[in-house]
Each structure stands twice: as structure tokens, then as C-alpha cells.
Amino acid sequence: MNEVVISLCDLTGVMVEPWVAAGYDAVLVDPQHGKYSNDGRIERLPCTVLEAACRLGEIVRGRRVALVAGFPPCTDVAVSGARWFASKAAADKHFQTRAALVAEQCRMIGQISGAPWFFENPVSVFGSIFGRADHSFHPHHFTALCGADNYTKLTCLWSGGGFVMPESCIEPGIGAPDNRIHAAPPGPDRANFRSATPRGFSRAVYMANARHLRRQLTLWEAATDNILSSHSQMMRKAELLQPLTECRECGERLSEARQRAVKGVQYCVACGEAAEQREKGYRRG
């Protein structure tokens, strides 16, 4: 059975695209899916994380989970909307608590899965709730993997389970990133547009965390270490085989005849014999 990626509060499915292309299965949870569907590779649950808890529990118990990603809504917690906090609190004093609970549900699913996990949000009050973010990035940090992501949007990640934050890979010469997220006009699709997962980031996360790729990297690093070790041994051997003009042991000058007769000569006759006897003794031991 294929390993599975779980992506919570995920409408677009961009996060799981590279995983599914590589043969993994995926589960997407978001009320906006409208109806349940499962095409054999991607299962879409049209509900909240809490409502999906039973199904997610089945998956965690019965499948090997490769990654858990969480994208809890940021509308009520992002500091960019701080000017509306007071009016929202007047209408519902628990409005940020509800948002934090969704993030906590994402975190808990990640922890019980045993897989690398993260949940993300822009700069928000989550920093005072969950502590300082473990990582942060802008979409334009991964333009080498998707040139269309050349825009700014500071995004914070809280992570665990061995999650590896990918290194930045900016496409040279692509130009300055734009401000499309903050310049987005009001409208019914604004929230989804602003919260869409950057493809470059999703590809980078896959490349840094997919188990089969990490195994290949480990094998490659081990092979490289062996090659370097063998190279070092060969260099040392070549160094030792460089002929000397004086005995390595006693310092006596070696005759030209001995230098010609013994390739890579290191010792005079007496010291050479003594070294040979010591070597024989080590082999017997």
C-alpha cells in the first residue's frame, strides 16, 4: 500500500501534487470541497479537521503517513488584520480561540502520525500561542522551482516529527518579487487567493522530506564518503611510495643503488628488515 500525505485545511491540493506524481496517496480536508470524492489517489473530505477526526484516525492507524501539512485559516489571527480585532472580539470574544483550536488540531494530527509535520500561517497571534515559529519563508525564495511564485508573503511554520525545512533556491535574474498578495482587491475569492500554497514551496518540501528521496541522498552521501576515503587512502599510499634519500627510521643516507633497486624505498637495509619483522609479528597477532 502506498504511503499517504495528509493536507489539512487544503482546498487547492497544490501541497500534495509532487507527492501524488511520485506515487504517494493523499488526503485533503477542507469544508470547501463541497462533497466527498476519492479517485483512488486523492481522497477529499468536505469537512473540518475535527469532523474528519475519525477518518484521519483510521488512516494514521492503518497507513504509513509520509507528511502532515496544515493550513489553518488566518483571517482572524493575521496581524495584517489587527485593526478589526476589537470589533470581532465584541461580536465573539472567542474568535481567535476558535482559530487557534484549528491550528492545534493540525498540530496534534501531525504529532500522532509519527511523520514529519508542519502547520503554517502568516505573521499572526499564533506566535504568542504556540511560541516562536520554527521556520519562515517568502514564496519568491523558491522561484527556481516555480518562477510564477515571484512574490512576497512572509509565512511562518511550526513543525516537528523531523520535518526538514528546504533551503531557499531563487532563480537568478528573475527580478524583484511583487506585492500581489497585499495588493489583492476585495472580493469573495480574496481569502483563497491570499492563502493559496505556492507551488515552488510545495515542491521544495517534497524534495526535502520524501522518504525515498532522503534514502537515496543517504546512499549517495555514503558512497561519496567511501570514494573520498578511498581517494585519501590512495593519496596516502602514493605519498608513502615516494622514494626517499634518507632512511625514514634512522636517517641514514640511502645509497643510489638501493634507491634504484627498491621502488619507493623508505628504509635502509637494517631498518627495512626490522620493519618487515614487526609487520610479520602484527599479522600473527
**Domains of the chain by residue range:** 4-209, 211-240, 242-285
What pLDDT score was predicted for residue 9? 94
What pLDDT score was predicted for residue 222? 60
What pLDDT score was predicted for residue 283? 47
What pLDDT score was predicted for residue 117? 97
According to the CATH classification, is domain 4-209 in 3.40.50?
Answer: yes
What pLDDT score was predicted for residue 11? 93
User: Cα–Cα distances in Å, from 95 out to 71, 91, 92, 98?
Assistant: 17, 8, 5, 5
What pLDDT score was predicted for residue 233? 60
What pLDDT score was predicted for residue 285? 47
**Are 33 and 46 contacting, i.e. CB atoms less than 8 angstroms apart?**
yes
Collect the ranges in the chain with pLDDT lower than 50.
217, 282-285
pTM for the whole thing? 0.72
- Residue 245's φ and ψ, nearest 5 degrees, are -100, -15
What pLDDT score was predicted for residue 42? 97
Distance CA(140)–CA(181), nearest Å, equals 12
